Amino acid sequence: MAIKEWPTMERPQEKLLTSGARALSDAELLAMFIRSGTKGRSAVDVGRDLLHEFGGLRQILSASEHDICKSHGLGPAKFALLQASLEIGRRFLDQTLRKQGPLSSPVQAADFLMHHLRDLKREVFAIIYLDTRHQVIDYEELFRGTINGATVHPREVIRSVLERNASAVILAHNHPSGVAEPSQSDATLTRKLRESLDLIDVSLLDHLVIGDGEYVSMSDRGLF
């Protein structure tokens, strides 16, 4: 049965408008973006199928266009809508981070970085640029590598820091394996970058390694 034939208060859109988005199930939220179902199956049914196939919202939103479009009833346009919803969430987090005041702990930065880096299939090296009060100036994903690692050039890090007139930075990179444990090469690179940043009087506050639902603060570990 098509959603338009359901009782009014059972339809996802009406439920959202009446009770708020949190009242919707994962399948109903997906239906808001899928919009239409297939023959004999509503958009909510298609959403349930996706959740069963991929294992959850996170897995759906991090899946490739190829994998999403293999699912019956979906195509590039609906994949684009799902990706747009994900990007809206990321930009909301960006603005929240910039307005929340000085970053005072690794946890604050890690919460933000987890949303940006945890589901990436390749390693990415990112920087949070901070002013003298440790308020956020900018966030940038500066280097992208293969699944085995990213090549990070200190001169490019320094150039980006100077362009933003930053006084301090927090570095971060993800481990696509999901294990956040820093490697010896991570520690060596961090010490090298700290030495380069010291030359321009910029503080390296931390280097966070992002895994699947976990992170490691290299500062807390005393690795640089």
According to DSSP, residue 172 is labeled E
> Taking all residues of the chain, what is their mean pLDDT, rounded to a whole number?
87
In 2-34, which positions are buried (b, 16+ CB within 10 angstroms) versus exposed (e)?
Answer: ebeeeeeeebbeebbeeeeeeebeebbbbbbbb
Tell me: the pLDDT tens digits for 92-129?
Answer: 877 776 666 677 677 888 888 988 888 888 899 999 99
Q: How many residues does the chain have?
A: 224
Most confident of the following: 28-42, 68-82, 98-112, 193-207? 193-207
pTM: 0.69
Here the tokens at position 136 are: 């956020």
Report residue 216's pLDDT band, with 50, 70 and 90 as the boundaries.
very high
Residue 131: per-residue pLDDT: 94
More confident residue, 121 or 182: 182
Please name each of the domains of the chain with its CATH number: 3-90 (1.10.150), 103-217 (3.40.140.10)
